[in-house]
Amino acid sequence: MLDPRARLALACGWGGTVAAAGRPWTVVGAYLVLCLAVAGWRRCAAYGRWLRLVVPMALFFGALTVWAAGMEAGGVAALKLLALTTTFFLFFETTAPEDLGSSLVRTGMPFAAAFVFTAALQFVPVIGRKARAVIDAQRSRGIRLEPGWAALRHWPAFLAPLLIQAFTLADELAEAMEARGFSRPGRSFHRDFRMGPADWTAVAGAAGLLAAGIGWL
């Protein structure tokens, strides 16, 4: 398996190529390769759930572009957004945030900064669960927070408990981390990451891809 930093470079290279590509068939090809990779890594179920969130966004973005620049540009814009998000979906599905953090620390990033980055990634689903719990609790006592315009009238009933719980959770986590030595100097790492020849080849490939995307595709 490639080092997380090499994988990050590949994801950035592929994403950059997609973003820079001018020809529609290049974007279609890039997206098809990504779909094959999703299937190869057996992430179809998770990808299906991800698409439910991303497709409406892509359609909205595409529709705006159709209105401003025409049909073909709109289709390419929607597909680019889909391909870009799929690139990073694959990256985060196949790379543990802690591994990415540890490898970045080896590159020289301070541990605290790397940890904040990885913790932020991990706590998106936790906050999502808290949000669902708030909605459930409020609906259970008669407050209309079902999807729809009526929910907008009751935004304080959703936002206030969620924000307070998010702050409380942050405090509790900081306390738990400190109780396990977060700020103790001299940290070691259970997994050691070193860039090998394969990783450097991947980085070079990513750079080549990006250059090709900008120059010829």
Partner 1 sequence: MTAGLPFIRAENLSYAYPAAGGRPVLERIDLDLGAEPYLLVGGASGCGKSTLCRTFNGLIPHFYGGRLSGSVSVGGRGTRDTPVARLIDRVGLVFQNPEAQLFNRTVAREIAFGLESLGLDRREIGRRIVDAAAAVGIETLLERHPHHLSGGEQHLAALAAILALRPRVLVLDEPFANLDPATVLGLRRVLAGIGEHGRSLVVCEHRLNLTAPDAGRMVVMVGGRIVADGPPDRVLENLPSPWGLEAPLAAAVSRRLGLAPLHLDLDQIPLGPGAREMLADLTVPPRKSAACGEMVLEVEGLAGRAGDHQVLRDVSFNLHRGEVTALVGANGAGKTTLVRHLNGLARPLRGRVAVAGKETRRWRASALARHVGVAFQNPNSQFFKLTVAEEIRVGPLALGCLDENWLARLAAWLHLTDLMDRAPFRLSGGEKKRVAFAAALAHHPGILVLDEPTAGQDAFFRRALADLLVRLAAEGGAVLMVTHDLAFAERCASRWLVLCDGVIAADGPPETVMADPALMRRSHLVPTERFRLAARLEEIGAAGSGGMPCGRRGRV
The residues of the shown chain that bind partner 1, judged by CB under 8 A, are: 45, 96-98, 119, 122-123, 125-126, 129-130, 133-134, 136-146, 156-157, 159-161, 164-165, 168-169, 172-184, 186-192
In angstroms, what is the minimal distance from the CB of 152 to partner 1? 14
Cβ contacts of 126 within 8 Å, gap of 6 or more = 169
Taking the alpha carbons at both ends of the chain, their separation in whole angstroms is: 29
In angstroms, what is the minimal distance from the CB of 60 to partner 1? 27
Nearest of 96, 94, 100, 117 to residue 46 by alpha carbon: 94
Given the complex with partner 1, which of 56 and 181 has the nearer CB atom? 181
Given the complex with partner 1, which of 72 and 178 has the nearer CB atom? 178
In angstroms, what is the minimal distance from the CB of 206 to partner 1? 25
Cβ contacts of 120 within 8 Å, gap of 6 or more = none
Given the complex with partner 1, which of 29 and 161 has the nearer CB atom? 161
In angstroms, what is the minimal distance from the CB of 52 to partner 1? 14
Cβ contacts of 97 within 8 Å, gap of 6 or more = 117, 118, 119, 121, 122
Can you count the helices (H) and strands (E) in the chain?
9, 0
Of the CA atoms within 13 Å of residue 99, those in its CB half-sphere come to 17
Given the complex with partner 1, which of 57 and 176 has the nearer CB atom? 176
In angstroms, what is the minimal distance from the CB of 34 to partner 1? 23
Given the complex with partner 1, which of 22 and 181 has the nearer CB atom? 181
The sign of the dihedral angle between the CA atoms of 14, 15, 19, 24 is positive
Nearest of 121, 57, 105 to residue 84 by alpha carbon: 57
In angstroms, what is the minimal distance from the CB of 164 to partner 1? 6
Burial (CB count within 10 angstroms: exposed 0-12, middle 13-18, buried 19+), residue 107 = exposed
Given the complex with partner 1, which of 72 and 175 has the nearer CB atom? 175
